[in-house]
Amino acid sequence: MKCLNGLYCVHLELTSRCNKICWMCGRRKIDREYPEIAMKYGEMDFELVKKIANQMPEGIVVQLHNNGEPLMYSKFGKALNLFEKQIRCMDTNAKLIIEKADQIIGNLDTLTISVIENDPEGENQYELVKDFIKIKGRRGPNLVFRCLGDVDVEKWKALGGIIATRTLHNPMGSFEYRKTPTVPEIGICLEILNHMAIDRFGRVSICVRFDPKRLGVIGDVNEESLLDIWNGEKRKQWIEYHRQGRRDEIPLCSKCDFWGVPTSS
């Protein structure tokens, strides 16, 4: 019998648009060198969001972001309401958290703020987060400050959220990390075992690594159910390669140094 065994997290790209220019983001290279990809930035059709939500198991994590800024989604609040039976989380650059505070507060379990090294907008981001904390008071969501690279961690600790430090890597993918990535004892990437990422078009990937050429796609939710994609032959074959220590046989994994375990900075 087919089931979604092992699935713990789905990343859902509500939008691929972004309102921030980060020096360490691969999108900048895409914008310059692959205009055919950049021209396709947009948002997921709300009917597709509903179709996906109806297939989600209860109690798993839904990360409402992938390569864009989720607060730019035109139906953000309505999208959150579709996942009331899941653990709702997302990453944001925080530029719209005051504007969208009424949609965020009480409707997310975790809100992660991406704090980046050498950010010229860093002080403004910090003040926005401070103001947001005043507005939300003791209500949810819990806040996580994901500090990427060389960041003043003590400054963010003072705001009372959870600190998650992360090492930086090449903007074009999960390779050339500043620190050697953590490898799980089983020698198999955990992300291929427990993750699914869906872009705004409905294309389903094995993980949420930066993948502008869509090398990690295993199906399309417009044409197949999540259940069939999860149990599909391509994913089975790729997992078998990982089990045999042959991840280099998989187009996306062959260029990747990540093993499904985030590495602290």
Class of domain 9-255: alpha beta
38 pLDDT band (50/70/90 cuts)?
A: low
pTM: 0.94
The strand pair at 195-198 and 87-92 is best described as unpaired
In a 3-state reduction of DSSP, which class is residue 37?
helix
Query: Percent of the chain at pLDDT above 90?
Result: 84
Chain segment 222-252, per-residue pLDDT in tens = 999 999 999 999 999 999 999 999 999 999 9
Q: Between the CA of residue 148 and those of 45, 99, 131, 164, 258, what are the distances in Å?
A: 31, 25, 22, 9, 16
Chain segment 141-154, per-residue pLDDT in tens = 999 999 999 999 99
Sign of the C-alpha dihedral computed for residues 52, 86, 18 and 100 taken in this order: positive
The strand pair at 142-148 and 110-116 is best described as parallel
For the chain, domain boundaries: 9-255
Tokens of 105: 């507060």
